[in-house]
Amino acid sequence: MTFPFFVRMKITNMQYLIFFTLIFVSTFICASKVDKEISIKKIENEYSISYFNYEPEISIYFEKRELQGGGYTWEALVKAVIENEFPNLLSNIRFDSEGDAFFAHVKDEITANKIKTVIEKLSSDIDYREKYFKIAKQHGYLE
Specify if 4 maps to a domain.
no
Specify if 116 maps to a domain.
yes
Q: What domain range includes position 92?
A: 35-138
Specify if 27 maps to a domain.
no
Model pLDDT for residues 116-139, shown as the tens digit of each residue: 999 999 999 999 999 999 999 999
CATH code at position 107: 3.30.1360
Is residue 141 predicted with pLDDT exceeding 90? Answer: yes
Give the predicted TM-score (pTM) of the model. 0.75
Specify if 24 maps to a domain.
no
Convert 7-46 to b/e letters by CB count within 10 Å (16 or more is b): eeeeeeeeeeeeeeeeeeeeeeeeeeeeeeebebeeeeee
Specify if 89 maps to a domain.
yes
- Sequence letter at residue 124: S
* Contact by Cβ (8 Å): 97, 75: yes
Model pLDDT for residues 2-23, shown as the tens digit of each residue: 555 554 455 565 555 555 555 5
Specify if 57 maps to a domain.
yes
Number of domains comprising the chain:
1
Specify if 23 maps to a domain.
no
Which pLDDT score is estimated for 35? Answer: 78
